[in-house]
Structures are given as C-alpha cells and as structure tokens.
Structure 1
Amino acid sequence: MIRETLWERDLHQRGSASSFLVTEDRVVVHERHTRLVCLDREDGSVRWDAPIGTWPRDLVIANGRCLVLPQSPHRLSCLDLRTGAALWHVELPRLCGHVVASADTVLVGGWRGYTPLAAFDLRDGRPLWQTPSPARTALPVSWGGGVLMGHGPQAWLIDPRDGSELARWQLPEPLADTELRPVFTPVGPDHCLARLGPRSLMRLQPAGAVDELIRHDVDLVAEDAQFVGGVVWLRESRAGYLAADPATGSALWRVDVGQPLVSGVMRVDDGFVVAGEGALFRLRPDGQIMERSPHAHRISALRDLGAGEIILTTGGTLKALALESRRPGA
C-alpha cells in the first residue's frame, strides 16, 4: 500500500489530531512543547518557526491567518500564515477554550462554561462584543452564514459580528460531550450533522428543522461524524467505523479491523484508507478490507494530503506517505 515515505519530522513530543492542520500547500504543526512550525506540504521543509506557548487548546487557519490558543500563556495569538509573523494577540481568562473563525471574525470561549464568549476582528484583534457572564457551548463551527453553537438539548446559530441569534434548534436529546473535539459536521449550506447522546446523529436545517438521521445499535465515540467520499462515517467506541448514506442514514457497511481505529478517513482511488493504532487499511468502495500495511509506530491521527498522499502522527513524529495506486481489477 505504501509506495514511499515522502518526508518525516521529529516533533519531540506526542503527536495528536489536534496539534496539526493541513492546507493547500503547507502543514502547520505544534512541536517541541512551545513551537508552532509551518512546513512545505511537498517536502516537509520549514517555512517558519514561531514560539507560541504550551500545548494548543485550539489551532485554526482562516483567510491567510493562523490562530492559536495555547494552554499557557493565556492568550489568543494571530500569525501570518505565509511568514509566521505575529499580527496581534489578545489576553484571555484562564481555562479559555474553543476558537472558531468566520470570514472576518474570531469567536473565543465557552468551553465547559468557564469563560464568557468574546468576539474579535480577524484583521487586527479589535474587540467586538462579549457575553456579560460565562457561557457554555460545544466547539462552534461556521455554517449557514453564521456560527453554530450548542449545549445540552439546544443548538443555535449566531451572527459572529454582533452575537445576535439567527436560528435555534430543540434537540431530542443532549449533544454528545466531546470536550475540545467537534460535535457538528457541516455537509452543505442546507444541512449540518450533529452528534447526540451515545448513539445518535441528527440533521439540522437552516430554518430550524431537525430530524434523526442515524440511531446506531452500539455506542459511538464522542466526536463529530466525518463526511468523506459521499459517505457519513461514525467511529464506534469498541472498534471500527459505521458508514452510512447521507440522505437516508441507512447503513452501507461496517469496518472492523480487530483493533481500535484512529480518527480520520481518506479517499484513495475509488476506495478509502483508515488507520488502526498499528497499521493502515485500504478499503474497497464497498468498505471491505482489501489490504493491510503494518506500521512500526503507533498511529494517533490520519489526514489527507491529496493526490494519493497522506500525513499521519505517531508517538513522536509527523510523517507524509505516498500510497500506491491500485489498477482497475487489481
């Protein structure tokens, strides 16, 4: 399955899905405990290296800017994605978590209800508004012309520039408790998926309508659904993925490789690739396992680089790999 290792970088710390982002031509990764590094996507060469603080609670890229919220110091920093130059930073309360960016606004706060929600101008960090008291929300996401938020059996859409409410949804059960991980999956302008409780996936529509898409028969990992290759993917708590039709919610197949799967599904040729903790698995278009490629180090996250290439994190490295293309009928 693996054709070659394109490049590899030692992070000098544990790698995770929350510590790196992939853009069209670069990879941004947190490493060496206090550094944020931008790498060339093709060869892994360093474009810039900047001090930002300890492990990031959130890392977001928007409109040519990189926003990072470290555990310490307690501040949101905005860097130029092209050069790594610090553009602005704002001091924040301790235990502030969640960052989401729209076209011109950054919204911060709401994790566990510890801090108020606060909005800043993306260009210069100018404060725009703040809730008068601490607020609680799952990790927000830009969707439907606003920012979607939620807690318990409620979800709501706000205008990020002034905080006004645009829409609200009453849910049949509470949102899944995903901590700092996403709970919402925008699929298009007309609907967004939301993980509820231990086993449910709901579909939200802009006008306030909500309907149940999937109620699984086993518990799911407390994280958002993935929408890859026209298929909805839900990771099961015990091990494996459920793949479902995005229109009807009917099960297409289940993937069980006999070991826990990490978060991340990528499309390759006309099939898919998923990762266990110790191997990569190539799936046929119908989800059946067709190939297993053992990996020497424990895999913690998998992302798509495009053109049949992937990037993954292990216990202490970031590695880009090229996958062998499968000929029709092979």
Structure 2
Amino acid sequence: MVDQSVKLLWSRSLHLRSSSETMAAASDALVVAERHSRLTRLDPVSGESLWEQRVEDCWGTTVVAGEKCLYLSQAGVLHCFDLHNGEQMWSTPGPRLLHYVSVSGSVILLGGWRGYHPLKRVSLADGEPLPPVSTALPHGSQLAWPLPLRLAPERDLATHAALIAIADKPELLLLDSQSGTVVAEWPLPAPVVFPDTGIAYDVSDDGRIIFLSGRRTIMAFHPVDGVKVLWQHERDLLPHPPMLRGGALWLVEDTGITFVDLDRGAVTEVAHLPRGAVSAAAPISGGALFAYPDGSLVSVDRVGHVNASLRIPARIDRLLPGGSDLVHAIGTGHLVTLNLVTPGREDSGADHERRVEV
C-alpha cells in the first residue's frame, strides 16, 4: 500500500459551465475556454493567466499539439494559436458539431462525433482542407475519438496513423493519416463501447491500447500483436476506458470500482461509496483517481486500496493528468488543479492526445 494524498493546489472560476473538452494540458501547459468567449493559457502550478484570445464560444474542443494550441469552437471554426504567446497563426471556418480534434503528424482529423459529420482531414501547417478520408468508413458513422499513433519507421503500415472505431461495427481500423486511407483492420467480439465524449482508449505504460469491446470484455491492442482479450468481466461496465498500469487494471461499474490484479487473477471490489456512479477517472502515479458527481475524489493504488480522498464543492466532469504529479479537474463552471503527494513519483503515461510510440 502506497501512502498518497491529494491536495487542492488552486481553483479558478470559468464564469460559465464550459464543455469538459475545452481543457487541454501538457507537461508545462494548461489551456481552457472560459467566460463565454475566451481561450486562456494558464500556468499549471500557479493558475496564473499567461495569455488569452477571443473565440466564438466556450463549448468547443482544445488540443495542445507541440508548439501549437488548437481550438475548435462549437460554431465550427478551427483556430490555431502559438502556444507560447497566444498569437493566432490561422483560422478555418467549417461545419458545426465536429467536436473531435486529433493531431497525427502534420494532419488534423475532425468529425465523427455522433455521426453528424464524416471524418475530414486538415493541414496542421495552415488549416487548409486535405483530400477526404477513404470511403472505407461508412458515411455518417458514429466514431470513437480517433487515437493518433506514431508507428516505428520499419512498420509497413504507416508512420503517422490513427486508430478508428465505429459504434455499431465490431472492428478496429488503422487509418494512414497522411493519405486518408484505411491500411489495416482487426475484428472484435463486439463494437467498441465509449461515452458521449467519444474517448474510448487508455494507453498503458507498455504501449498497449486498452478499451471495452461490448460491456464486459476488456481488450488490448498493439499494431504488432493485433487485438487480444485482456479480461472478461462478470458484470456490465460503464463506458469509461479501462485503465491498465503494469498488471493492475481498474474498471468502472455503475455501483463502484473494481480492481483486477491480472498477474494473480485476483479481483477486489473497492468499497462502493454512496455518491452515485463515477463521473470521471484518470491514471495517476501509483494508481488511479476517480471523481463522483458530488465533487468527491478517491485514489485507488495498485493493490486496490483506497489511499486518499478529497471533496471539492463542484461536480467534476473530467480529470486530466498534467505532469509533475498534477491533475486538472473541470466541471460545473470551475477548473481545479490537484497535487498528488506520493513518495517516488512515477509518470502516468497519459496525455490528451493519447499518443503512443510503437
């Protein structure tokens, strides 16, 4: 059992309930939309505002991509800002309700959310549209948020690719981001299950991609090994991505949290707390952090013990690791940054884009 505490580092009012996907973080950067029409970069440690830019609304999607910050407004305008000084580099109008933004090499992938718009490609350099994605993706399909993958150069598939899952089809597709063509596919026992935000995957510390196939089957994917069943659960799971670190697997049910020690095949039912279903979850150093609708936060370590708890006076809709033992929490008009105090820090291996080097 690891001694760990969760402390509130700072909080910030957003002056309106922004979409949880308007927050993006990197190891030294935090960007969020607030006050109806502002995109703001904050210092992750102090919460101090470093720059701000006017945007159409605060219900869009923010992504940090290297030295760039992308913001796709709900109105359909895709903005690119210099991450360091906030200077606008380009802006491209498009259809509303695209929602997803995935950066794969020099290509931005947009669309697929709820099937409103097909997946489209845009140049990261200037925002200009690129030739459309291959018709191998059914028109109007509801997709999981495309997961960017950077494959080793010796692979025959693609250097920059994206993992694609369709809501009603039991298969995984690998899209070559540069050409827009599907270059590989793998059958699944059942379609990938994901929440309305579309985030379906967790990337483990060994590079495997973990996801739900149906409501009870946890799958692991690697481009070299393909797809394999990792665990078969006895009860239905909520559409939160399962989290795997080492041989430790954390699952979310409607009545609580289940911890699985895959090496021993041991299952631990974490005490079901009377707070309702988990509203957000994220891997952290030494374990996983779970949020509940009443603002409660609970960390569970790699042997299934509850190590720390904290309650903030706001609902939490999303948890996002930010590096240096920081976790950012957004929901109900507030942004909160938490400090995880753990002896012997480990890297959580998670970021917004969920990139993996394989």
TM category, shorter? 0.7 to 0.9
Q: Structure 2 matches for 1:1-330, cutoff 5 A?
A: 5-14=8-17, 17-72=20-75, 74-131=76-133, 134-136=139-141, 137-143=143-149, 144=151, 145=159, 146-151=161-166, 152-187=169-204, 191-207=208-224, 209-228=226-245, 231-236=248-253, 238-245=254-261, 250-255=265-270, 256-259=272-275, 260-268=277-285, 270=286, 272-276=288-292, 277-323=294-340
Do the aligned residues in 2 keep the contact of 1:18 with 1:58 (CA within 8 Å)?
yes
Q: Deviations over 1:10-56 (max 9, x none)?
A: 10122564231221112111111222110011211111111222244
Q: Could you say what secondary structure the match of 1:127 adopts?
A: coil
User: Percent identity at matched positions?
Assistant: 29
Q: Could you tell me how far apart the structure 2 residues matched to 1:82 and 1:291 are? A: 35
For the structure 1 residues 301 and 226, does the alpha-carbon distance in structure 2 shift closer, same or farther, using more than 3 Å as the test? Answer: same
**Can you give the 5+ residue segments of structure 2 that lack an aligned partner in the other structure?**
152-158, 345-358
Distance 1:185 1:249 in 2: 22
Greater share of residues in strand: 1
> 1:287–1:81: structure 2 CA closer, same or farther, 3 Å change rule?
same
Q: Distance in 2 between matches of 1:190 and 1:293?
A: 31
TM-score, normalisation: structure 1: 0.85
User: Quick one: distance in 2 between partners of 1:190 and 1:325?
Assistant: 24
**Equivalent-residue separation in structure 1 for 2:265 and 2:56 (angstroms):** 45
Answer whether contact 2:146 2:163 (CA < 8 A) is retained: yes
- CA RMSD in angstroms comes to 3.0
Q: Per-residue CA shift, 1:173-209, capped at 9, x if unaligned? A: 1121433321133337863223222222222232573
TM-score by length of 2: 0.79
Q: Kindly indicate whether the alpha-carbon contact (under 8 Å) linking 1:228 and 1:267 is maintained by their aligned counterparts in 2.
A: no
**Larger deviation, residues 25-34 vs 108-117:** 108-117
| Deviation (angstroms), 1:100 | 0.8
* 4+ long deviations beyond 6 Å: none
Please list the CA deviations of residues 199-225 of structure 1 after superposition, one character each: whole Å capped at 9, or x if unmatched: 222222325732221222222222322
Q: Which structure has more RCO (C-alpha within 8 Å, separation ≥ 6)?
A: 2
Aligned residues: 323
CA contact (8 A) 1:168 1:208 kept: no
- Alpha-carbon distance change, 199 to 52 in structure 1, aligned in 2, over 3 angstroms: farther
Instruction: Quickly say closer, same or farther: Cα 1:284–1:112, change in 2 above 3 A.
Output: closer
Q: Which shows bigger deviation, 192-201 or 204-213?
A: 204-213
Distance 1:3 1:150 in 2: 35
Structure 1: give runs of 5+ residues left out of the alignment. none
Distance 1:250 1:264 in 2: 23
1:280/1:205 CA distance change after superposition, 3 Å: closer
